Amino acid sequence: MRRLPLFLFGATLIAGSLLVAWAWRITRYPIRNAPSAGRAMVAFGDSLVSGAGVKPGEEWVALLSASLKRPIVNAGVPGDTTAAAITRLDQLQELHPDLVIVLLGGNDALQRVPPDQTVANLRRIMTRLQDGGAVVLLVGVRGGVIGDPYHRKFAKLARETSAAYVPNILDSVLGNDYLMADELHPNFRGQRVMAERLLPTVQWLLGQDR
């Protein structure tokens, strides 16, 4: 009976590698402020960043930090919308970040915020961080939380702001009981998939593949 979960997990990792390959292609345009020195990295977002559903240290932020062997500040707040996140920018910029991973929008969708308003809020967040010298990596979420209209708008926003973009971070994770702690939040295995999907792009932004 154990073979099925292992098969599903292996299939998910394969899907994840394909996702990273897609992200790699679409972020090969010039990225503002890249490469990052990686001395002050921050993950900025909602419960998908803070680690809801797992123990401290099991969230993708901690796992990615361990893979990079560099600290990443977890600035995730459960329930945060893009509008609420704007109010935290002053506090965030006190850290003088040089690379910020932005994962927001799920709560906007749940609260039925118009997609154009979500994108406008994200643009404000991203450009302010970039004006402060940070490289920005926008992370997209599709499926049960955010649908296709958001994905298209997020991809366009990333290009227009010269930010890096990893799409559909929860592809094949959402809806997979083996990888989910509840309907919205990945468990430790799902968090590991997220970290592995982000790792190549973050390494690229740090200039580690040059």
38-84 pLDDT tens trace: 999 999 999 999 999 999 999 999 999 999 999 999 999 999 999 99
The CATH code belonging to domain 3-205 is 3.40.50.1110
Pair of tokens at residue 170: 């929860």
* Three-state DSSP class for residue 6: helix
User: Domains of the chain: which residue ranges?
Assistant: 3-205
What's the whole-number mean pLDDT along residues 164-171? 92
DSSP class per residue in 19-71: HHHHHHHHT-S--TTPSP--SSEEEEESHHHHTTTS-TT-SHHHHHHHHHTS-
Give me the helix-helix angle, 148-161 and 115-131, nearest 10°: 30
Beta bridge pairs of residue 41: 72, 99
Higher pLDDT, 126 or 112: 126
DSSP 77: -
State the amino acid at position 119 in one-letter form: V
